Structure 1
Protein backbone atom coordinates (compact mmCIF):
# COMPACT_ATOMS: atom_id res chain seq x y z
CA UNK A 1 0.00 0.00 0.00
CA UNK A 2 1.34 3.46 -0.82
CA UNK A 3 2.20 5.59 2.18
CA UNK A 4 -0.58 7.91 3.38
CA UNK A 5 0.25 8.21 7.10
CA UNK A 6 1.60 11.62 8.17
CA UNK A 7 4.36 10.11 10.33
CA UNK A 8 5.57 7.98 7.42
CA UNK A 9 5.37 10.95 5.03
CA UNK A 10 7.46 12.99 7.50
CA UNK A 11 10.03 10.18 7.62
CA UNK A 12 10.38 10.26 3.84
CA UNK A 13 10.45 14.06 3.77
CA UNK A 14 13.38 13.88 6.20
CA UNK A 15 15.59 12.45 3.42
CA UNK A 16 17.93 14.90 1.66
CA UNK A 17 18.82 13.85 -1.88
CA UNK A 18 16.05 13.93 -4.49
CA UNK A 19 16.39 12.90 -8.14
CA UNK A 20 13.60 14.62 -10.08
CA UNK A 21 12.52 12.65 -13.15
CA UNK A 22 11.04 15.07 -15.67
CA UNK A 23 12.38 18.23 -14.02
CA UNK A 24 11.43 21.18 -16.20
CA UNK A 25 13.22 24.32 -17.33
CA UNK A 26 9.81 26.05 -17.68
CA UNK A 27 9.29 28.22 -14.61
CA UNK A 28 5.50 27.96 -14.77
CA UNK A 29 5.35 24.14 -14.67
CA UNK A 30 4.91 22.11 -11.49
CA UNK A 31 7.98 20.09 -12.53
CA UNK A 32 9.98 23.29 -11.97
CA UNK A 33 8.04 24.96 -9.15
CA UNK A 34 8.02 21.96 -6.79
CA UNK A 35 11.72 21.01 -7.01
CA UNK A 36 12.76 24.68 -6.84
CA UNK A 37 10.73 25.01 -3.62
CA UNK A 38 12.36 21.85 -2.22
CA UNK A 39 15.82 23.15 -3.12
CA UNK A 40 15.09 26.42 -1.29
CA UNK A 41 14.17 24.34 1.75
CA UNK A 42 17.46 22.48 1.87
CA UNK A 43 16.99 19.43 -0.33
CA UNK A 44 19.72 18.45 -2.76
CA UNK A 45 17.90 18.37 -6.09
CA UNK A 46 19.27 16.31 -8.97
CA UNK A 47 17.37 17.07 -12.19
CA UNK A 48 16.88 14.21 -14.63
CA UNK A 49 15.91 15.50 -18.07
CA UNK A 50 17.67 14.40 -21.28
CA UNK A 51 16.77 17.66 -23.06
CA UNK A 52 18.42 20.00 -20.53
CA UNK A 53 22.02 20.65 -19.53
CA UNK A 54 21.25 22.46 -16.29
CA UNK A 55 18.18 23.13 -14.13
CA UNK A 56 18.04 24.87 -10.72
CA UNK A 57 21.75 25.65 -11.15
CA UNK A 58 22.49 21.92 -11.11
CA UNK A 59 23.73 19.63 -13.85
CA UNK A 60 20.83 17.74 -15.46
CA UNK A 61 21.33 14.04 -16.13
CA UNK A 62 19.96 12.08 -19.09
CA UNK A 63 18.70 9.17 -17.00
CA UNK A 64 18.45 7.90 -13.46
CA UNK A 65 21.31 5.50 -14.18
CA UNK A 66 23.60 8.47 -14.95
CA UNK A 67 23.13 10.13 -11.54
CA UNK A 68 26.27 9.67 -9.41
CA UNK A 69 26.06 8.73 -5.74
CA UNK A 70 23.15 7.41 -3.73
CA UNK A 71 19.61 8.73 -4.15
CA UNK A 72 17.16 9.02 -1.27
CA UNK A 73 13.97 9.86 -3.20
CA UNK A 74 13.05 9.55 -6.86
CA UNK A 75 10.37 12.19 -7.47
CA UNK A 76 8.38 11.56 -10.64
CA UNK A 77 6.92 14.20 -12.95
CA UNK A 78 6.12 11.89 -15.86
CA UNK A 79 2.88 10.32 -17.13
CA UNK A 80 1.55 7.40 -15.07
CA UNK A 81 2.19 4.92 -17.89
CA UNK A 82 5.94 5.69 -17.73
CA UNK A 83 6.22 4.91 -14.02
CA UNK A 84 6.89 1.12 -14.35
CA UNK A 85 10.05 1.81 -16.38
CA UNK A 86 11.17 4.41 -13.83
CA UNK A 87 10.61 1.92 -11.00
CA UNK A 88 12.70 -0.63 -12.88
CA UNK A 89 15.53 1.91 -13.18
CA UNK A 90 15.26 2.88 -9.50
CA UNK A 91 15.34 -0.74 -8.35
CA UNK A 92 18.34 -1.47 -10.61
CA UNK A 93 20.33 1.26 -8.83
CA UNK A 94 19.97 -0.55 -5.49
CA UNK A 95 20.37 2.71 -3.52
CA UNK A 96 16.97 4.42 -3.79
CA UNK A 97 14.97 4.56 -0.56
CA UNK A 98 11.66 6.01 -1.75
CA UNK A 99 9.63 6.69 -4.85
CA UNK A 100 7.35 9.76 -4.91
CA UNK A 101 4.74 10.13 -7.67
CA UNK A 102 3.48 13.70 -7.84
CA UNK A 103 -0.15 14.75 -7.63
CA UNK A 104 -2.19 13.12 -10.39
CA UNK A 105 0.36 10.36 -11.02
CA UNK A 106 -0.76 6.85 -10.07
CA UNK A 107 0.29 3.38 -11.15
CA UNK A 108 -0.69 0.50 -8.87
CA UNK A 109 1.40 -2.03 -10.82
CA UNK A 110 4.49 0.14 -10.32
CA UNK A 111 3.66 0.60 -6.62
CA UNK A 112 3.58 -3.17 -6.15
CA UNK A 113 6.89 -3.66 -7.99
CA UNK A 114 8.59 -0.89 -5.98
CA UNK A 115 7.28 -2.16 -2.64
CA UNK A 116 8.31 -5.72 -3.49
CA UNK A 117 11.83 -4.36 -4.07
CA UNK A 118 11.76 -2.69 -0.64
CA UNK A 119 11.12 0.92 -1.66
CA UNK A 120 8.75 3.20 0.20
CA UNK A 121 6.15 4.60 -2.20
CA UNK A 122 4.00 7.72 -2.21
CA UNK A 123 1.63 8.30 -5.12
CA UNK A 124 -0.75 11.06 -6.11
CA UNK A 125 0.65 13.54 -3.54
CA UNK A 126 2.49 16.81 -4.06
CA UNK A 127 5.84 16.82 -2.27
CA UNK A 128 5.72 20.62 -1.92
CA UNK A 129 2.27 20.56 -0.32
CA UNK A 130 3.18 17.71 2.04
CA UNK A 131 6.41 19.47 3.03
CA UNK A 132 4.53 22.70 3.69
CA UNK A 133 1.91 20.97 5.84
CA UNK A 134 4.04 18.42 7.68
CA UNK A 135 7.54 19.90 7.93
CA UNK A 136 7.49 23.64 7.39
CA UNK A 137 4.15 24.30 9.12
CA UNK A 138 3.08 21.11 10.93
CA UNK A 139 -0.65 20.94 11.40
CA UNK A 140 -0.77 18.13 13.99
Structure 2
Protein backbone atom coordinates (compact mmCIF):
# COMPACT_ATOMS: atom_id res chain seq x y z
CA UNK A 1 0.00 0.00 0.00
CA UNK A 2 1.47 3.32 -1.05
CA UNK A 3 -0.35 6.60 -0.58
CA UNK A 4 -0.18 9.32 -3.24
CA UNK A 5 2.76 11.71 -3.01
CA UNK A 6 2.51 14.93 -1.02
CA UNK A 7 2.29 16.82 -4.35
CA UNK A 8 -0.68 14.68 -5.42
CA UNK A 9 -2.35 15.17 -2.03
CA UNK A 10 -1.85 18.94 -2.35
CA UNK A 11 -3.64 18.89 -5.74
CA UNK A 12 -6.50 16.88 -4.20
CA UNK A 13 -6.88 19.31 -1.31
CA UNK A 14 -6.56 22.36 -3.58
CA UNK A 15 -9.31 21.18 -5.95
CA UNK A 16 -11.74 19.51 -3.52
CA UNK A 17 -14.67 21.50 -2.19
CA UNK A 18 -16.90 18.94 -0.47
CA UNK A 19 -15.86 16.34 2.12
CA UNK A 20 -18.25 13.67 3.37
CA UNK A 21 -17.09 12.58 6.82
CA UNK A 22 -18.13 9.04 7.74
CA UNK A 23 -18.34 8.68 11.51
CA UNK A 24 -18.41 12.40 12.26
CA UNK A 25 -19.32 12.74 15.93
CA UNK A 26 -21.43 15.64 17.26
CA UNK A 27 -19.16 15.60 20.37
CA UNK A 28 -16.74 18.59 20.16
CA UNK A 29 -14.10 16.63 22.11
CA UNK A 30 -13.87 13.85 19.49
CA UNK A 31 -11.12 13.85 16.88
CA UNK A 32 -13.61 13.56 14.01
CA UNK A 33 -15.32 16.78 15.14
CA UNK A 34 -12.06 18.68 15.71
CA UNK A 35 -10.63 17.67 12.32
CA UNK A 36 -13.89 18.35 10.45
CA UNK A 37 -14.35 21.72 12.13
CA UNK A 38 -10.81 22.71 11.09
CA UNK A 39 -11.48 21.65 7.49
CA UNK A 40 -14.80 23.54 7.53
CA UNK A 41 -13.01 26.66 8.77
CA UNK A 42 -10.47 26.18 5.96
CA UNK A 43 -13.33 26.56 3.47
CA UNK A 44 -14.47 23.00 2.75
CA UNK A 45 -18.12 21.97 2.83
CA UNK A 46 -18.45 19.20 5.40
CA UNK A 47 -21.23 16.63 5.03
CA UNK A 48 -21.64 14.48 8.15
CA UNK A 49 -22.37 10.77 7.70
CA UNK A 50 -23.64 9.42 11.02
CA UNK A 51 -27.02 7.69 11.40
CA UNK A 52 -27.09 8.51 15.13
CA UNK A 53 -27.42 12.30 14.78
CA UNK A 54 -29.39 14.86 12.76
CA UNK A 55 -26.81 17.63 12.40
CA UNK A 56 -23.13 18.24 13.07
CA UNK A 57 -21.27 21.52 12.55
CA UNK A 58 -24.48 23.10 11.28
CA UNK A 59 -24.84 20.57 8.45
CA UNK A 60 -27.52 17.90 7.95
CA UNK A 61 -26.21 14.45 8.78
CA UNK A 62 -26.91 11.44 6.54
CA UNK A 63 -27.23 7.81 7.54
CA UNK A 64 -24.88 6.57 4.82
CA UNK A 65 -22.96 7.86 1.80
CA UNK A 66 -25.64 6.82 -0.68
CA UNK A 67 -28.20 9.16 0.97
CA UNK A 68 -26.15 12.28 0.14
CA UNK A 69 -27.96 14.10 -2.70
CA UNK A 70 -24.93 15.96 -4.09
CA UNK A 71 -21.45 15.34 -5.44
CA UNK A 72 -18.75 14.62 -2.88
CA UNK A 73 -15.07 15.23 -3.71
CA UNK A 74 -13.51 13.36 -0.78
CA UNK A 75 -14.90 10.68 1.53
CA UNK A 76 -13.03 10.94 4.84
CA UNK A 77 -13.50 7.94 7.14
CA UNK A 78 -13.40 8.04 10.94
CA UNK A 79 -14.55 4.46 11.52
CA UNK A 80 -12.53 1.42 12.53
CA UNK A 81 -10.70 -0.54 9.85
CA UNK A 82 -13.18 -3.42 9.89
CA UNK A 83 -15.86 -1.08 8.50
CA UNK A 84 -13.84 0.04 5.46
CA UNK A 85 -15.10 -2.74 3.18
CA UNK A 86 -18.75 -1.74 3.68
CA UNK A 87 -17.94 1.97 3.38
CA UNK A 88 -15.98 1.29 0.18
CA UNK A 89 -19.08 -0.39 -1.31
CA UNK A 90 -21.10 2.80 -0.77
CA UNK A 91 -18.17 4.96 -1.90
CA UNK A 92 -18.17 3.21 -5.30
CA UNK A 93 -21.92 3.81 -5.65
CA UNK A 94 -21.63 7.59 -5.17
CA UNK A 95 -18.77 7.95 -7.66
CA UNK A 96 -16.59 10.16 -5.49
CA UNK A 97 -12.95 10.47 -6.55
CA UNK A 98 -11.01 10.17 -3.28
CA UNK A 99 -11.34 7.66 -0.44
CA UNK A 100 -9.42 8.85 2.63
CA UNK A 101 -9.15 7.03 5.95
CA UNK A 102 -7.75 8.65 9.05
CA UNK A 103 -4.73 7.66 11.15
CA UNK A 104 -4.57 3.96 12.04
CA UNK A 105 -7.51 3.13 9.74
CA UNK A 106 -6.16 0.69 7.15
CA UNK A 107 -7.41 -2.21 5.05
CA UNK A 108 -4.98 -3.45 2.41
CA UNK A 109 -7.72 -5.28 0.49
CA UNK A 110 -9.89 -2.15 0.28
CA UNK A 111 -6.86 -0.11 -0.78
CA UNK A 112 -6.08 -2.54 -3.61
CA UNK A 113 -9.71 -2.92 -4.67
CA UNK A 114 -10.28 0.83 -4.95
CA UNK A 115 -6.93 1.71 -6.55
CA UNK A 116 -7.34 -1.14 -9.06
CA UNK A 117 -10.74 0.41 -9.93
CA UNK A 118 -9.07 3.76 -10.61
CA UNK A 119 -9.90 5.64 -7.42
CA UNK A 120 -7.44 7.69 -5.40
CA UNK A 121 -6.99 6.16 -1.97
CA UNK A 122 -5.24 7.66 1.04
CA UNK A 123 -5.05 5.61 4.24
CA UNK A 124 -3.57 6.15 7.68
CA UNK A 125 -3.20 9.91 7.22
CA UNK A 126 -4.93 12.82 8.96
CA UNK A 127 -6.53 15.19 6.44
CA UNK A 128 -6.14 18.14 8.85
CA UNK A 129 -2.41 17.48 9.28
CA UNK A 130 -1.89 17.08 5.53
CA UNK A 131 -3.82 20.30 4.87
CA UNK A 132 -1.74 22.19 7.45
CA UNK A 133 1.53 20.92 5.98
CA UNK A 134 0.58 21.61 2.37
CA UNK A 135 -1.27 24.94 2.50
Q: 1:55 Cα deviation (Å)?
A: 0.2
- In the alignment, what sits opposite 2:55? 54
Q: 1:117 Cα deviation (Å)?
A: 2.1
User: Separation in 2 of the partners of 1:2 and 1:18?
Assistant: 22
User: Separation in 1 of the partners of 2:116 and 2:48?
Assistant: 26
- Mapping of 1:80-91 within 5 angstroms? 80-91=81-92
Q: Report the count of equivalent residues.
A: 134
Q: Secondary structure in 2 aligned to 1:99?
A: strand
What are the Cα deviations for residues 32-88 of structure 1, in whole angstroms up to 9, with x where unaligned?
000110000000100000000000000000110000111110000000010011111
User: Separation in 1 of the partners of 2:69 and 2:117?
Assistant: 21
User: Separation in 2 of the partners of 1:4 and 1:115?
Assistant: 11
Contact in 2 for aligned 1:91/1:117 (Cα 8 Å): no
- In the alignment, what sits opposite 1:43? 44
User: Separation in 2 of the partners of 1:51 and 1:4?
Assistant: 33
Q: Secondary structure in 2 aligned to 1:47?
A: strand
- Mapping of 1:20-35 within 5 angstroms? 20-35=21-36
Contact in 2 for aligned 1:2/1:111 (Cα 8 Å): no
Q: 1:4 Cα deviation (Å)?
A: 4.0
Q: Give 5+ residue unaligned stretches, structure 2.
A: none
TM (norm. structure 1) is 0.92
User: Separation in 1 of the partners of 2:80 and 2:23?
Assistant: 10
User: Separation in 2 of the partners of 1:25 and 1:17?
Assistant: 19
Q: Give 5+ residue unaligned stretches, structure 1.
A: 136-140
User: Separation in 2 of the partners of 1:91 and 1:44?
Assistant: 20
* Structural RMSD (CA): 1.0
